[in-house]
Amino acid sequence: MEEQYKFNVGEKKMVLKGMSKNIYYFFISQLSFPLESIDKTKFENCPGVYVLLADNPTSIPIIDLFQMGMVNQKINDLPFNYIYIGETNDLSKEFKNHPRLNCFKQHRIFLVLWIDEGNEKERIKIVEDLLPTQNFLCN
């Protein structure tokens, strides 16, 4: 099976491959706060595509693996769930009144992945390319 997902701790990027075989490099932000109070300064006026990841409840929490320095393996070997993929023109405002916020709260979201992309048509194209690659629990 072709490796579809990679995780590079040093560069803080995660690579996802779309159905089109296009490769997308997502920045990684680890959450230590409620999603709806996401860091306004870090993400203010940040347009792009985002992916929410959560712990798989049947495994060791990913945040513990980060702290133990064990995140140096293939990303598809890590025990997390894909929760949601979306696009926005301002990530700092996206989650305060998000229509799927109740669904997000049912999961232990610990990572927000994002790609800076100012063009709305390109953002939609990326979401449509990646959406069929995983079972996003809240989409």
SS3 62: helix
Per-residue pLDDT of the chain (139 residues; tens, 9 = 90+): 233 344 443 446 778 889 999 999 888 776 655 666 565 556 778 899 999 988 766 554 444 444 444 444 444 455 678 999 999 998 888 887 889 988 988 887 878 888 999 999 999 999 999 999 999 999 9
Whether 62 contacts 93, CB under 8 Å: no
Position 80 scores a pLDDT of: 75
How far separated are the first and last CA of the chain, in Å rounded?
A: 26
- C-alpha 36, offset from chain centre: 15
What is the reported pLDDT for 40? 58
Whole-number pLDDT of residue 74: 45
pTM: 0.77
Can you give the pLDDT at residue 125? 98
Residue with tokens 């992309």: 117
